[in-house]
Amino acid sequence: MEPAEEARFLILAAQREGNRRLAHGLRPLGVTPAQAEVLRLLAERQPLSMSGLGALLVCESGGNPSRLVDRLVTAGLVRREEGSRDRRHVELTLTPSGHETVRSVAAVEAELHAGISAAAQGHDLDSVLAFLRSLVADQDAGRAVALRAGRPTSDDGKSRHA
């Protein structure tokens, strides 16, 4: 197996294992990893518009998280309201139940992140991160991660679908 092919499969394996562990930890909360990502983003940055949320999501491609948000609204975790200046503009915020759930989500994520940090001991994590950033730099998900981390993107902050 060539190194690039092995890297591809190791990235896929790490992603699948991380998502499996996250899904297992979230199951008692009744949310999926994708729903947990929405809840965490809203906890950090609410209110968010649907397009603002879409620009920050890594779990959803295409920048249209409507169905994902619909499920969270139905579950009573997210509130969708007309914008104060424009009724066509929708603002998303957490409900009280959403705030409660997001605290539990954060605890599950912290446990997962601790495991990742433990596995990274003795490795040059900065080099790994630099490699992964360069691998996804011009992709929607890579731009979403950069925006969330407060790093400039290759399109200088322009909308992904302008």
Helices 33-45 and 3-26, axial angle in degrees (round to 10): 80
* 29 in any annotated domain: yes
The verdict on residue 156 lying in a domain is no
Cβ neighbours around 79 below 10 Å, total: 17
DSSP assignment string, 57-81: -SSSSSS--HHHHHHHHHTTSEEEE
Question: What does pTM read for this prediction?
Answer: 0.85
Please report whether residue 155 resides in a domain: no
Helix axis angle, 125-136 to 140-149, nearest 10°: 130
User: CA end-to-end span of the chain, whole Å?
Assistant: 40
Provide the CATH number for the domain around residue 37: 1.10.10.10
Which residues contact residue 119 at a Cβ distance below 8 angstroms, ignoring those fewer than 6 apart? none
pLDDT means over runs of 10, the chain (162 residues) = 94 95 97 96 93 88 80 96 75 96 97 95 93 92 90 60 36
pLDDT at site 15: 94
**Structural domain contains residue 46:** yes
